[in-house]
Amino acid sequence: MTHIIAIALCIAGFASLCAAMVRHQPDFVGRKLDAGTSRLLRHAGFSLLLAALAVDMIGLGAGYGAVAWCAHLTLGAGLVLFRLNRTIARQPVKAKPARKG
Amino acid sequence: MASRASPAPRYRLAVASRVLAAIPLNYALTAIATALLARHLPLSRAEATIAATLTSFLIFALIAMAIFHARSTAKVWLWMVGSTALLGGLLALSLQLGGRA
Amino acid sequence: MKDGFRQSMAWLHTWTGLLLGWLLFAMFVTGTAAYFQEEISRWMKPEVIAAPDREAATQAAITYLNRTQPDAENWFISPPSARTPTANVFWQPRKVEGEEPRKRRGRRGDTSATLDGQGQPVTARETQGGFFLYRFHFDLHYIPVHWARYLVGVAAMFMLIAIFSGIVTHKKIFADFFMLRFGKGQRSWLDAHNVTAVFALPFYLMITYTGLVTLATQYMPWGIAANYSQPDAFFEEVFPGRAEVERSGIAAPLVPVTPLMEVARQRWNGADVGSVRVALPGDSNSTITLTRASSGAIGSRGESIVFSGTSGDLIEASAPQGGAMATQSVMIGLHAGRFAGWGLRWLYFLSGIGGTIMVGSGLVLWTVKRRAKLPDPAHPHFGFRLVSRMNVATIAGLPAGIATYFLANRLLPLGMEARADWEIHSLFIVWGATLIWAIARPEKRAWVESLALAGGLFAAVPVINALTVPRNGITGLLSGDWLFVAFDIAMLILAVGLGFAARKAARATTAKPPRRARAIKEELATA
C-alpha cells in the first residue's frame, strides 16, 4: 500500500514538474502557463516528491524507505515521460497542440 | 568533421596512449593512493582499510575521466608519472617507518 | 584535445561498449534473474514443498549433522526462510595433519545436504537452480572463477566510467529528462538506448559501484596489503567468529541451538538468524556462531554472536560496525537486494530489465549506425558480420539458453549421472548452437529464427512442466501455489514477447534491424 501511495505521489510530483517547464507546457498542459502558475507547479512538484519520501520512510522505515523512494522516483519519472511521449505521438502532425495531456 | 568514422592515425595513437595511461598506469596510481589512504586515514586500522578500498573505485574512475578530459597527452603522462612517483615514494617511506602493519 | 574530448569519449564508449557489451548483457540478464534466484530454485525443485519452522528445522539439521558428520571441522547451516523451504547445510571434513585442507570447489554434493523441517535429506532432483544464474552473474562458467571475476570487474569499471562521463558530458541530462523521446524509425535505437540509460541512471550508478564493492578486496587488495601481513588477518579482524578454534580433544555434547537463536533474535530486535556455524562439534571447545539474516536489514554484513557450544554462554558479539564497515555492508546489501520485500524486489527487477535493454539496444545501435555507411550493404565486411552475428547470438541466444535450462530441468532423467551439470551444459549447447546458426544464416533470417526459437522454448516450459510434474499454473490457481502460477505466466509473457519480436524482425525491411527492446524486456521476466 505504501508503495502505491508513494508511486502515485511521485507521478503527481513529476507531472507537476513537467507542467512547470515552459517548453513542455504546449504538449503536456495544452497551453502556456503564466510564470506564477509555473512556479507554483514547480514548488508543488518538489513538495509532492518530498511527501513521497515521507510516506516511504514512515511506511517502510527510514533506510528501506529511502531505497524504495529512489525506485519510486525512477518509476514515477518514467511513467510521466511515457505519458508525455504518448501525448506527442498522438498529436496530428503540425496541428496545434490543443488537447489536454 | 565528415570523416568521423575513420579517425586519423595520429588521433588513434593519442587515444591508445591515453588508454595506456588511463588503465594500467591509473591502476598503479590508484593502488598506491589506496594503500596510502589505508595507512593514514584517521580511523582504526580495519576501518581505514575498508574506507580506502571503497573509495578506490571512485579515485580510479575520476583519474580515468581526467585523463580523457585533459588537453595535452604529454601533460597527462607528466602528471601521471609524476604523481605515481611522488605517491609511490611517500608509500615507500610510510612502509619504512612502519606503524599500522 | 578539447574538441576531441567528446569525440574520444564517444569513441571509447563505442568500442569498449562493444567489447564489453556482450558480457554486460549476460551480466544484466542473469543478475536480474538472480533477484528471484530462490523462487527459480524452488520451481526447479518441484518435489520440495515443506515450509518448516525456522528454529525447529535448524535443531533438526544439527541432529542430522551430529548423526552423519560428528567429526567435521565445521558445520554451516542456512535455516529455511520465507523464500527457501529447506535448511541447507554443508560441512568441512576434519583436517588431517600434514594434509592440505580440501578446497570447497568442485563437487559440493559430498559435503552438503538439503534438509526438510524434520532434518531428513530432501529427495529432490539434482539441480543448481537459480543459484547457477546468480553465480554466472559474476563467476561466469567454464573458466576459472578468479579470472571470470576480473573480467566482470573490468566490465563493471568500464560501465562506471561510462556513467560518470555520461553525466559530465550531458550535464543537463536531468533538466532535459522530459525531452527524451521514444522515437520512430531510424532514431528508435538511439532513443531506446538513451531513454533506458537516463531513466534508471541512479540505479545503474548504484548497482555498478556496489557491484565493484562486492568484490573489492579482489580488485583492490592494496589497502589490505599495506596494513596487514596476511589478508586473513584483516578478515579475522573484520569478521569475528571466523577465527579458527583449537581442538581440545575432550568430547562434550552440544547445547540445543533453539534458545540461542531466541537470544540472538532479541538482541537484533526480532531479526531472524540467517546462518549458523558450529565449529568443532562434539569437542569441549566447540562454538556456535549465529549471524543475522540478510533479509533483516539493508546491510548485508549481518551482526554475529558467538556462543560456547557446550555451555551456551555468550562468548563474543560483533562490535557495532564502524562507519566504513557499515557503508560497505549497506553497499553490498543494496547490490544483492536480499533485504527487499516483494514490492521493492519487482522494482529492482524492472530496473535490471532497463539495464538489459540499455546494453542490448546499444549493441544493436553499433550495427545500425554502420549499416548505412557500408560500401556494399549486401556484402558487409568481416567485422560487421561478426558483430551482427554475435548480437543475434547474445541477445536471442542467451534467452533461448535459459529457457533450455528450465526445460532440461524437467526433461533430463532424474537419476542421471551429473544431472545438474548437464542442465547447465544444455544452456550453453543451445546458446552455442544459436551462434552457429546466426553465422550460417543470412542476418535477418538469423534474427527471426533465433527469436522464434527462444519464444518457442519459453512457450514450451509451462507445457513440459505440466506434463512432467504434478505442480503447474492451473493446479497452482486451485491450491494457492502462487509460485507455479507466477512462473507459468512469466514464461508465457516471455514467449509472447519473443514471438512478437520475431514477427517484427520478419516484417522489418532489411535496412532496419528488428525491434528488440520489447523482447529483451520480456526475456527478463524469466524469474
What pLDDT, on the 0 to 100 scale, is given for residue C378?
76
> How many C-beta neighbours within 10 Å does residue C106 have?
9
Residue C207 neighbours by CB under 8 Å, 6+ apart: C31, C335, C351, C355
Indicate if the pLDDT at residue A32 is higher than 80.
Answer: yes
Please report whether residue A101 resides in a domain.
no
DSSP H helical ranges for C239-312: 258-267
Q: What is the ipTM of this complex?
A: 0.90
Domain that holds residue B22: 17-96
Note whether C455 and C496 are within 8 A (CB): yes
What pLDDT, on the 0 to 100 scale, is given for residue C163?
84
Residue C115 neighbours by CB under 8 Å, 6+ apart: C57, C60, C61, C64, C86, C87, C88, C89, C121, C122
Buried/exposed code over B22-55 (b: 16+ C-beta within 10 A; e: otherwise)? bbebbbebbbbbbbbbbbbbebebbbbbbbbbbb
Q: Which of C370, C372, C395 is closest to C515 using CA atoms?
A: C395
Angle between helices C145-169 and C4-34 (to 10 degrees): 130
What pLDDT, on the 0 to 100 scale, is given for residue A38?
92
Please report whether residue B2 resides in a domain.
no
Please report whether residue A10 resides in a domain.
yes
Mean pLDDT, chain A, as a whole number? 87
Q: Which amino acid is at C157?
A: M
Instruction: For residue C327, name the pLDDT band (cuts at 50, 70, 90).
Output: very high
What pLDDT, on the 0 to 100 scale, is given for residue C427?
97
Least CB–CB distance from B61: residue in C9, C160, C237: C160
> Three-state DSSP class for C516?
coil
What pLDDT, on the 0 to 100 scale, is given for residue B6?
52
What pLDDT, on the 0 to 100 scale, is given for residue A96?
44
Indicate if the pLDDT at residue A100 is higher than 50.
Answer: no
Please report whether residue A68 resides in a domain.
yes
Set of chain A residues whose Cβ sits within 8 Å of the Cβ of C177:
77, 81
Please report whether residue A64 resides in a domain.
yes
Please report whether residue B4 resides in a domain.
no
Of B36-45, C1-10, C106-115, C467-476, which gets the smallest average pLDDT? C1-10
What pLDDT, on the 0 to 100 scale, is given for residue C368?
84
Please report whether residue A85 resides in a domain.
yes
Subunit contact C323:B47, Cβ cutoff 8 A? yes
* Residue percentage of chain B with pLDDT more than 70: 92
| Chain C nearest C-alpha distance from B80 (Å) | 17
Please report whether residue A97 resides in a domain.
no
Q: Which residues pair with C88 in a beta bridge?
A: C78, C114
Of A73-77, B38-42, C120-124, C165-169, which gets the smallest average pLDDT? C165-169
User: For residue C495, which phi and psi values (nearest 5 degrees)?
Assistant: -60, -45
Mean pLDDT, chain B, as a whole number? 88
Domain that holds residue A21: 2-90
Please report whether residue A100 resides in a domain.
no
* Tally of CA atoms within 13 A in the half-sphere of C31 that contains its CB: 26
Instruction: For residue C525, name the pLDDT band (cuts at 50, 70, 90).
Output: very low
Please report whether residue B101 resides in a domain.
no
What pLDDT, on the 0 to 100 scale, is given for residue B3?
41
Domain count, chain A: 1
DSSP H helical ranges for C397-481: 397-411, 419-440, 443-468, 473-479
What pLDDT, on the 0 to 100 scale, is given for residue C514?
45
What pLDDT, on the 0 to 100 scale, is given for residue A79?
92
Subunit contact C226:B46, Cβ cutoff 8 A? no
Domain count, chain B: 1
Subunit contact C178:A70, Cβ cutoff 8 A? no
Subunit contact C178:A3, Cβ cutoff 8 A? no
Subunit contact C220:B31, Cβ cutoff 8 A? yes
Please report whether residue B11 resides in a domain.
no
Q: Which of C498, C221, C11, C183 is closest to B11 using CA atoms?
A: C11
The residue that leads in pLDDT, C224 or C107, is: C224
> Could you tell me the end-to-end alpha-carbon distance of chain B, in angstroms, rounded to an integer?
56
Of B23-37, C179-193, C246-260, C272-286, which gets the smallest average pLDDT? C179-193
Instruction: For residue C524, name the pLDDT band (cuts at 50, 70, 90).
Output: very low
Buried/exposed code over C235-250 (b: 16+ C-beta within 10 A; e: otherwise)? ebbbebbeeebebeee
The residue that leads in pLDDT, C2 or A92, is: A92
Instruction: For residue C242, name the pLDDT band (cuts at 50, 70, 90).
Output: low
Indicate if the pLDDT at residue B26 is higher than 90.
Answer: yes
What pLDDT, on the 0 to 100 scale, is given for residue C124?
86
DSSP H helical ranges for A1-101: 2-20, 25-28, 35-60, 62-90
Set of chain A residues whose Cβ sits within 8 Å of the Cβ of C203:
70-71, 74
As a whole number of angstroms, the distance between CA C526 and CA C129 comes to: 13
Q: Which residues pair with C314 in a beta bridge?
A: C307
Please report whether residue A33 resides in a domain.
yes
Indicate if the pLDDT at residue C65 is higher than 80.
Answer: yes
Please report whether residue B75 resides in a domain.
yes
User: For residue C487, which phi and psi values (nearest 5 degrees)?
Assistant: -65, -45
What pLDDT, on the 0 to 100 scale, is given for residue C371?
84
Q: What is the mean pLDDT of residues C401-418?
A: 95
Given strand C273-279, what is the order of strands in its sheet? C112-115, C87-92, C74-78, C273-279, C287-292, C304-308, C314-317
Indicate if the pLDDT at residue C414 is higher than 50.
Answer: yes
3-state secondary structure C346-414: HHHHHHHHHHHHHHHHHHHHHHHHHHCCCCCCCCCCHHHHHHHHHHHHHHCHHHHHHHHHHHHHHHCCC
Indicate if the pLDDT at residue C28 is higher than 90.
Answer: yes
Q: What is the number of CB-based contacts under 8 A between chain A and chain C?
A: 54
Angle at C340 between CA A17 and CA C152, to 5 degrees: 90
